[in-house]
């Protein structure tokens, strides 16, 4: 049998204001549920025991994809990943990243908001209650030790969202709303490099939508995973470059996901690329510089050594993708 | 004969296909009885500990909880092998692995059962854990079975056939290699489930997703201290077994006990994590193999050592140990052979039989070493296999009787279909082909418990309207055994398989079949069905011949009629013939049986590996391996299989494809990995099996050698085709990139590490370097069989 779900109540507000009010109620432990593909297994494993699940599916303005008057692509947080995967309104790199997430069945129910806010993952915590008791509870689980790096005092659970690296590479931003009003945060600043407190979002804030400015150059997303479907990224590299008419790089944004509690920019490589032609030698050097600062931990499929190796390999593949005819 | 068959050899869907594909077949977890309770097992969170106390009072006091039982309620030990009666359904004084059941509850619903488990307070006193082979062989850790400290040895074996030292002396080239085969599990989609109902008149019925209702029946008799005549075991359709449902399990016994205590039906369905802990999967095996070759590639001697990490209990382990040494000789003429093996206990889930039972591990080692030797000697990989290939109607040095054998043809066919010879060593970097072969038993020659009775019995009852009901205890686990039985009987009686009414796997209704394991059902139950079918047909023929005043020899059963000679439309319809037979000689009920011939050799351990017939497989894998990422993409697989005779070619192809699928999973993804004694990822997200997108096209080549003793010449296909797949992948990776990954699975990190080793001037080999310095028992020296060697050595 499947593991039984703990008891909870379920609410479906039809307006944002109503939703924000429910979320701000200090008497309730509310979890926002989109497709539930991450939250429901977590509840079955008793990693989280919210008293109330709040679905945002009835709030119409949170659905769908549109282009605003300034040419920004606005994607509602309740939009299904399958819709993004098939959309011609979103940049091709976004639909490609969406297609790389999980499986067709999961994409048919999982949402953009759920993927952007995906809880950090670790193979010491995404386990059943029995397993965690046998292992000993970790930092993220109310314990006092991180089993990944036991001498440290921080949590190394991994950011495993495929869309966040792309949103950051495209210089996107998200809109957060609460009873206190709403605010816009850059996608990059939404994430914190801390496996426990991994989002710069208050508990009473709802992520409403993602806004992506018009793409000025080329972009790509490459995902490393063992199988053709289902798996979370062992590594995800999003890369966006703008070139001038002389074939020199005006700006480069390289974002590495799946190796740390947040998707991280390879700023040294980005700076190195600026003003340069993307020759094979330059790409190889930039790939090395992309890899250099990062230290993947041994807390997902495949060891840390291999994933470290693959950062440079994938960065080179990604840069070759965006260099296109320039190489 | 072949051209006279009507339904044998005709491809078609299974007789139960529509019910199952429409979702209407009732699997064990689909069954519901009035008043049924939900049962759950409390797993141990300790790998090795003494149970100081279990307080169940909190759980018992919870509203909705109807019973809580512990090891004290089920004190009698059991185990699948008579020599390994070392398990309790619920741990009594000690726990030996994480996930071992220590208590069981029955409650009105799943949430109450979960709360009841949370309320059971178990106090443990931890013991030092034994987590690895090396730790098991240490002298200063606690004994997992027994008191005090010492080596945690389960069983060891040391056998020599012929004169190995002399064989090595005659060799022109000797290779020594070390290999490791990682443990894996079955991943049947249906998790184990059991529903028990104890009636007011003191009779017990258990529905269970088991491959072996007969052995479960015997175990319940023992542990419940009830006469087996008061116990009924039924296996509904089983959603995959692969060896994972061939032991008696805790949840089966606990469900029975809980039903007896509460007087209500109790169902326990394991969740996926619990299945990973129930396990009984592939043993991790460390192997050392030394083989001598003549310069032409002929094998002069082989010395094979295996080290099995068995987990916490015996299970089939003694048999598994011998299997790691038994079938090396089934494919190659090895004139002198020494086998030494040891199985140890560790504080991990119990290993047992998985598709190929103990033989995929040595097959991987053997086929990879042969490839290396071929390279050393400058011989083609196909040629070195052909020059050593076992021949039909021969004896192996370890006393296996080989009858039908189309090994050579399977190699030729797969080499030709794949273009192996023009591709091997010739494809661009990153692309490669690999070849390997294998052989498997068509049923273990001996039953699990010693007895003189048939290994399979089948009964046929024909009603007065001509309806035929076939009764067999064989459990259909998805392999299609029910269709096989229907087809065999239909062929005998001139009817269609879909006309047969099948009653299977029910200890009250069906005569004994030992179960769906060791690839035995087609050969053994098929022969029993053939025997029963012949008896029914003979009675009908006698009655019809009397009526027509002709010789029964002139009659033929075909197309629903009993006809005379080749005269179509002559004679009479089947129902009329049946009524004649009933009138002439009483109820038309017949039974048939099968027992394998005496095949055991003159040594202890010879019961493992013997079989009335062996299937043969050859496989070529073509793949692409990215040199930068180490990611392997299997492009195509060709697999030729000597089935003897394909009773239903569609089902044969299904088994071949399934074997290839499982083999590719073990080659590329699957590993029962542990952190200490804790399973690293007991879920289908962490334990990776190939998805649809990872599965290549498979070209199945059916080779028919017409076995002299198989039903209509048939042999097995359930397990054999898996065996060559794993080494074929390893050999193809070597062909693609020049690296040798001598341990499964061939993951991208190992391949990249090997590539980096090459770039630093290394050999590009990844794998273990040594085996433990273990003192095996004194060798038992066994004379080769009479006449052995006559046709073996041409030179």
Two structure tokens written together for A307 = 């994933």
In this prediction, residue B2 carries a pLDDT of 43
Asked if B762 has any chain A CB less than 8 Å from its own CB, the reply is no
pLDDT tens by residue, A41-88: 999 999 999 999 999 999 999 999 999 999 999 999 999 999 999 999
Residue of B122, B71, B81 lying closest to B257 (CA atoms): B71
**Rounded to the nearest 10 degrees, what angle do helices B481-493 and B526-548 cross at?**
20
Q: What is the pLDDT of residue B1?
A: 42
Say yes or no for a CB contact (<8 Å) between A128 and B692. no
The reply to whether A105 touches chain B by the CB within 8 Å rule is no
Q: What does the block give as tokens for B327?
A: 């079938």
Query: B688 and chain A: CB distance < 8 Å anywhere?
Result: yes
According to DSSP, the residues that pair with A67 across neighbouring strands are: A73
Mean pLDDT of chain A: 96
Mean pLDDT of A235-262: 97
Q: Cβ(B597)–Cβ(B685) under 8 Å?
A: no
Among B638, B648, B585, B620, residue whose Cα is nearest residue B729: B620
Report residues of chain B scoring pLDDT below 70: 1-3, 789-795
Q: Which of B270, B669, B752 has its CB closest to that of A309? A: B752
**Can you read off the two tokens belonging to residue A312?**
């440079």
Q: Is A140 exposed, middle or buried (0-12, 13-18, 19+ CB in 10 A)?
A: buried
pLDDT at B788: 80
pLDDT at B3: 54
The pLDDT value recorded for residue A152 is 83
Q: Which of B216, B207, B191 lies closest to B274, judged by CA?
A: B191
Lateral strand order in the sheet of A218-224: A218-224, A235-243, A249-257, A264-265
CB contact under 8 A, A302 and B690: no
**Chain A closest CA to B127's CA: distance in Å?**
14
B507: phi then psi, degrees, rounded to nearest 5: -70, -20
DSSP B260: H
Q: What is the pLDDT of residue B444?
A: 96
Mutation target vs A (from B114, B194, B695; most A CBs, 10 A cutoff): B114
User: Six-digit token pair at B337?
Assistant: 């052979």
Provide the pLDDT confidence category of residue A325 given band limits of 50, 70 and 90: low
Residue in chain A lying closest to B194 (CA): A1
Percentage above 90 pLDDT, chain A: 95
A231 at interface of B, judged by CB pairs closer than 8 A: yes
Which chain B positions have a beta carbon within 8 Å of A133's beta carbon? 45
Structure tokens at B48: 């090795």
pLDDT at position A317 is 97
Residue A3, pLDDT score: 83
Nearest-CA neighbor of B489 among B468, B513, B507? Answer: B468
Which helix (H) or strand (E) covers residue A71, if one does?
A: none
pLDDT at A327: 43
pTM: 0.97
| Contact assessment for residue B100 and residue B312, using Cβ atoms and an 8 Å cutoff | yes
Q: Residue A91: pLDDT above 60? A: yes
**What kind and span of H or E run contains A308?**
helix A304-323
Distance between CA atoms of B685 and B122, rounded to whole angstroms?
30
- Which of B269, B693, B748 is opposite residue A229, by nearest beta carbon? B693
Q: Is the Cα torsion angle B513, B519, B522, B526 positive or negative in sign?
A: negative
Which pLDDT does position A84 carry in this prediction? Answer: 98
B271 touches A at CB < 8 Å: yes
Cα separation of B322 and B329, whole Å?
A: 13
Query: How many Cβ atoms from other residues are within 10 Å of residue B151's Cβ?
Result: 16
Taking an 8 Å cut-off on Cβ atoms, the answer to whether B273 and A131 are in contact is yes
pLDDT score for B794? 36
Report yes or no: B448 and B426 within 8 Å, Cβ to Cβ.
no
B633 shares contact with chain A (CB less than 8 Å): no
């Amino acid at each position: 049998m499947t593991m039984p779900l703990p008891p909870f109540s379920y609410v479906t507000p039809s307006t944002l204001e109503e939703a924000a009010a429910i979320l701000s109620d200090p008497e309730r432990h509310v979890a926002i549920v989109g497709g539930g593909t991450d939250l429901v297994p977590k509840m079955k494993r008793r990693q989280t025991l919210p008293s109330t699940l709040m679905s945002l599916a009835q709030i119409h303005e949170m659905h769908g994809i549109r282009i605003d008057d300034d040419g920004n692509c606005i994607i509602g947080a309740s939009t299904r990943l399958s819709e993004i995967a098939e959309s011609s309104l979103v940049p091709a790199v976004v639909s490609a990243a969406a297609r790389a997430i999980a499986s067709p069945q999961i994409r048919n129910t999982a949402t953009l908001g759920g993927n952007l806010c995906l809880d950090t993952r670790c193979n010491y915590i995404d386990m059943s209650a029995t397993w965690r008791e046998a292992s000993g509870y970790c930092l993220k689980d109310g314990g006092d030790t991180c089993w990944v790096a036991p001498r440290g005092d921080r949590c190394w659970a991994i950011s495993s969202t495929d869309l966040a690296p792309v949103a950051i590479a495209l210089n996107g931003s998200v809109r957060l709303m609460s009873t206190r009003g709403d605010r816009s945060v850059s996608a990059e600043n939404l994430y914190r490099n801390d496996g426990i407190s991994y989002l710069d979002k208050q508990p009473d804030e709802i992520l409403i939508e993602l806004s992506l400015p018009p793409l000025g150059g080329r972009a790509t997303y490459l995902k490393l995973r063992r199988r053709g479907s289902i798996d979370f990224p062992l590594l995800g590299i999003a890369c966006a470059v703008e070139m001038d008419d002389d074939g020199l790089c005006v700006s480069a944004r390289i974002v590495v996901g799946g190796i740390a509690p947040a998707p991280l920019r390879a700023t040294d490589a980005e700076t190195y690329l600026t003003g340069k032609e993307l020759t094979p030698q330059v790409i190889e050097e930039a790939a090395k510089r992309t890899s250099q600062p990062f230290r993947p931990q041994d807390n997902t499929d495949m060891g840390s050594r291999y994933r470290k190796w693959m950062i440079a390999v994938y960065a080179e593949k990604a840069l070759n993708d965006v260099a296109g005819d320039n190489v | 004969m072949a051209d006279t068959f009507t339904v044998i050899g005709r491809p078609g869907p299974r007789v139960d296909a529509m019910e199952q594909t429409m979702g209407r077949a009732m699997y064990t977890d689909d069954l519901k009885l009035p008043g049924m309770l939900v049962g759950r097992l409390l797993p141990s969170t300790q790998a090795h500990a003494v149970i100081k106390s279990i307080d169940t009072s909190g759980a018992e006091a919870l509203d909705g909880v109807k019973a809580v039982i512990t090891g004290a309620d089920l004190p009698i030990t059991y185990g699948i092998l008579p020599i390994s009666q070392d398990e309790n359904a619920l741990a009594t004084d000690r726990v030996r692995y994480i996930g071992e059941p220590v208590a069981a509850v029955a409650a009105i619903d799943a949430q109450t059962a979960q709360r009841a488990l949370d309320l059971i307070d178990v106090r443990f006193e931890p013991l030092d854990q034994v987590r690895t082979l090396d730790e098991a062989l240490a002298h200063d850790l606690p004994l997992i079975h027994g008191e005090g400290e010492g080596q945690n040895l389960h069983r060891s074996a040391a056998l020599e056939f012929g004169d190995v030292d002399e064989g090595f002396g005659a060799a022109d080239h000797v290779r020594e290699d070390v290999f490791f085969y990682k443990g894996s599990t079955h991943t049947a989609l249906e998790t184990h489930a059991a529903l028990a109902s104890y009636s007011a008149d003191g009779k017990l019925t258990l529905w269970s997703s088991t491959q072996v209702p007969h052995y479960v029946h015997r175990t319940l008799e023992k542990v419940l201290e009830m006469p087996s005549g008061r116990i009924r075991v039924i296996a509904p359709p089983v959603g995959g077994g692969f060896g994972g449902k061939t032991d008696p399990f805790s949840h089966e016994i606990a469900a029975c006990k809980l039903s007896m205590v509460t007087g209500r039906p109790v169902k326990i369905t394991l969740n996926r994590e619990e299945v990973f802990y129930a396990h009984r999967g592939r043993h991790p095996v460390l192997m050392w193999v030394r083989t001598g070759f003549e310069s032409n590639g002929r094998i002069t001697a082989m010395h094979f050592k295996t080290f099995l990490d068995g987990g916490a209990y015996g299970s089939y382990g003694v048999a598994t140990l011998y299997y790691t040494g038994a079938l090396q000789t089934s494919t190659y003429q090895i004139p002198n052979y020494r086998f030494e093996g040891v199985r140890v206990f560790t504080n991990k889930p119990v290993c047992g039989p998985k598709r190929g039972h103990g033989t995929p591990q040595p097959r991987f080692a053997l086929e990879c070493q042969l490839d290396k030797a071929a390279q050393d000697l400058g011989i083609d990989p196909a040629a070195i296999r052909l020059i050593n290939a076992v021949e039909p109607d021969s004896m192996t040095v370890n006393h296996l009787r080989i009858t039908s054998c189309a090994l050579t043809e399977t190699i030729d066919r797969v080499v030709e279909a794949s273009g192996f010879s023009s591709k091997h060593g010739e494809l661009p970097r990153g692309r490669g082909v690999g070849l390997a072969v294998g052989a498997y038993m068509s049923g273990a020659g001996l039953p699990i418990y010693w007895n003189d009775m048939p290994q399979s019995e089948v009964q046929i009852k024909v009603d007065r309207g001509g309806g035929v009901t076939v009764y067999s205890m064989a459990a259909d686990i998805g392999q299609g055994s029910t269709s096989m039985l229907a087809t065999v009987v239909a062929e005998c009686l001139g009817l269609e398989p879909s006309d047969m009414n099948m009653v299977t796997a029910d200890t009250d209704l069906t005569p004994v079949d030992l179960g769906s394991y060791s690839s035995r059902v087609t050969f053994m139950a098929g022969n029993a069905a053939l025997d029963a079918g012949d008896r029914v047909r003979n009675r009908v023929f006698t009655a019809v011949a009397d009526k027509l005043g002709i010789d029964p020899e002139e009659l033929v059963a075909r197309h629903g009629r009993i006809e005379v000679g080749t005269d179509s439309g002559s004679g009479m319809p089947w129902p009329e013939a049946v009524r004649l037979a009933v009138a002439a000689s009483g109820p038309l009920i017949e039974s048939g049986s099968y027992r394998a011939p005496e095949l055991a050799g003159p040594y202890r351990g010879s019961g493992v590996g013997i079989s009335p017939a062996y299937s043969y497989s050859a496989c070529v894998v073509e793949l692409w391996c990215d040199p930068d990422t180490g990611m392997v993409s299997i492009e195509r697989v060709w697999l030729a299989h000597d089935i003897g005779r394909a009773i239903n070619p569609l089902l044969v192809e299904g088994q071949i494809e399934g074997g290839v699928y499982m083999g590719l999973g073990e080659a590329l993804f699957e590993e029962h990995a542990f952190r200490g004694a804790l399973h690293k990822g007991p879920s289908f997200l962490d334990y990776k099996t190939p998805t649809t997108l990872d599965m290549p096209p498979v070209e199945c080549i059916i080779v028919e050698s017409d076995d002299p003793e198989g039903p209509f010449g048939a042999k097995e296909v359930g397990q054999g085709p898996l065996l060559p797949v794993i080494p074929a992948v390893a050999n193809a990776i070597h062909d693609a990139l020049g690296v040798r990954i001598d341990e499964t699975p061939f993951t991208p990190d190992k391949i990249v590490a090997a590539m980096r080793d090459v770039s630093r001037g290394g050999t590009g080999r990844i794998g273990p370097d040594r085996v433990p310095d273990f003192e095996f028992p004194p060798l038992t020296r066994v004379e080769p069989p009479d006449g052995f060697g006559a046709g073996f050595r041409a030179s």
